[in-house]
Structure 1
Amino acid sequence: MTEARHRRIAGDLRRRIDAGEWLPGDALPSRAELAAELGVHPQTVRLAYVLLRRAGVLEGQERKAVYVAHPPAVRTLTDADAPWPFACEATDSRSCAASEELAARLGVAAGVVLRHETVECLDPGGRSAMLVSSWWRGRRGPHASFAAELGCVELTEEQAHALGLLVDAPAFRVVRTRFDHDGRPLETADLLLPMDRWLVRLAS
């Protein structure tokens, strides 16, 4: 019940911020003040503030004032194969069995064991900008070309948590597959880009 309530409060606060009740840089009420206004325990407000800090809506440290964050920089994706120019953190490197979809993308049999890595790409301010999950078989080597397909998805709970967003937030999904000189797939990846932080510009 507490979890559902703090998520509901976080959603209400986000709507109030979007409506202009508080502007970037404005301090929000203290936990005690907002708890009294809403008729809830201060701990519930604290959890809502934590959720909004993770989502980049609020800034501020634990037990101190929290402020409306300035919007994150919006980046433009023009090359789905370009190296990320800032810091990255690997968050998962467990091997996995190829699903039907991954098998088709890599031209292998379903169930074949694939190498896997998920990397969180950070912007210069240290905020998560993109998640890249890659799968390949054997050794990871250089590629000669790539293809990319653009779609949209709703983030899972794990993905949303990593990106600091609410569950079911929309994101661009770029499916990138790399090929060798003979056109054989070497590696495939899902690039997840939050829609509030990215524009996608197709090359002419």
Structure 2
Amino acid sequence: MPADARYRRIAADIIRRIEAGEWPAGAPLPSRRALATEYGVGEQTVRLAYVLLRDTHILDGEERKHVTVAHPPAMRTLTDVDAEWPYATETTDTRPRRASGDLAERLGVTPSTMLQHATVECLEPGGRSAMLVLSWWRGRRRPHVSYAAELGVTRLGEEHAHALGLLVDAMAYRVVRTRLDVHGAPVETADLILPMDRWTIRL
């Protein structure tokens, strides 16, 4: 049997065993050596099967480490773009930025004004990224009483695709949220980047 057919056959059998409940979500799989012995193939063939299953989000884990069964991404419905994320978050970037023309218009400032910035990764209970929130504001963060939101789509660049576990140039929802003070003036604006395979939008 050709090597390509062998590792694909093994990958398909691993999926069958996962679906049968042999390895639940989060459970580690056997080592490459153990599975190579079980299937009667070389470790490289098992490695290729693991790579294929990681690329298709069936397995999680890094090269040369134990892999685990991936938690399936939950399909969520976004109804309140200003709600707090109920699970873990991780702030991955806080470098100040100069306002682009778009950000300047959204915040009512002059282009090139220095803005505070935060990129926050919102994580599912299993640890997979559910969405990214990129926020910008001027000076200190101020309270808001309302917000405006616009829904669109965006093509993911390398950084955001990697964070979300998606391919570069994949399409994602982009919600532009601008928080407003009691006078209706913008105090903060954000891009919410949501993978289309994990979200439906109801605004």
Structure 1 segment 33-182 matched on structure 2, within 5 A: 45=48, 48-49=51-52, 52=55, 56-59=57-60, 62-63=63-64, 69=70, 71-182=72-183
What amino acid maps onto 1:149 in structure 2?
A: E
Determine the C-alpha separation between the residues in 1 that align with 2:17 and 2:144: 44
Moved over 2 A (4+): 20-24, 29-37, 45-51, 55-71
Q: Report the RMSD for the aligned CA atoms in angstroms.
A: 3.3
5+ long unaligned stretches in structure 2: 20-28
Determine the C-alpha separation between the residues in 2 that align with 1:114 and 1:24: 51
Determine the C-alpha separation between the residues in 2 that align with 1:67 and 1:24: 13
In the TM superposition, what is the alpha-carbon distance from 1:71 to its structure 2 partner? 3.2
Give yes or no for contact 1:22–1:68 (8 Å, CA) kept in 2.
no
Residue 18 of structure 2 corresponds to residue 25 of structure 1: yes
Q: 1:159 to 1:177 in 2, by over 3 A?
A: same
5+ long unaligned stretches in structure 1: 1-8
Q: Match of 1:186?
A: 187
Q: Give the match's secondary structure for 2:127.
A: coil
Determine the C-alpha separation between the residues in 1 that align with 2:43 and 2:186: 54
TM-score normalized with structure 1 length: 0.74
Which one has a bigger Cα radius of gyration? Answer: 2
In the TM superposition, what is the alpha-carbon distance from 1:144 to its structure 2 partner? 1.0
Aligned length, in residue pairs: 179
After TM superposition, the structure 1 stretch with the greater mean CA deviation from structure 2, 58-67 or 104-113, is: 58-67
In the TM superposition, what is the alpha-carbon distance from 1:165 to its structure 2 partner? 1.2
In the TM superposition, what is the alpha-carbon distance from 1:23 to its structure 2 partner? 5.0
In the TM superposition, what is the alpha-carbon distance from 1:33 to its structure 2 partner? 5.7
Q: 1:23 to 1:158 in 2, by over 3 A?
A: farther
Q: Match of 1:3?
A: none
1:122-156 per-residue CA deviation (whole Å, 9 max, x = no partner) reads 01111110100000001102101100100011111
Q: 1:183 to 1:65 in 2, by over 3 A?
A: closer
In the TM superposition, what is the alpha-carbon distance from 1:66 to its structure 2 partner? 5.7
In the TM superposition, what is the alpha-carbon distance from 1:58 to its structure 2 partner? 2.3
In the TM superposition, what is the alpha-carbon distance from 1:196 to its structure 2 partner? 0.6
Q: 1:197 to 1:33 in 2, by over 3 A?
A: farther
Determine the C-alpha separation between the residues in 2 that align with 1:124 and 1:154: 26
Determine the C-alpha separation between the residues in 1 that align with 2:202 and 2:18: 31
Determine the C-alpha separation between the residues in 1 that align with 2:86 and 2:199: 15
Determine the C-alpha separation between the residues in 2 that align with 1:189 and 1:153: 14
Give yes or no for contact 1:25–1:67 (8 Å, CA) kept in 2.
no
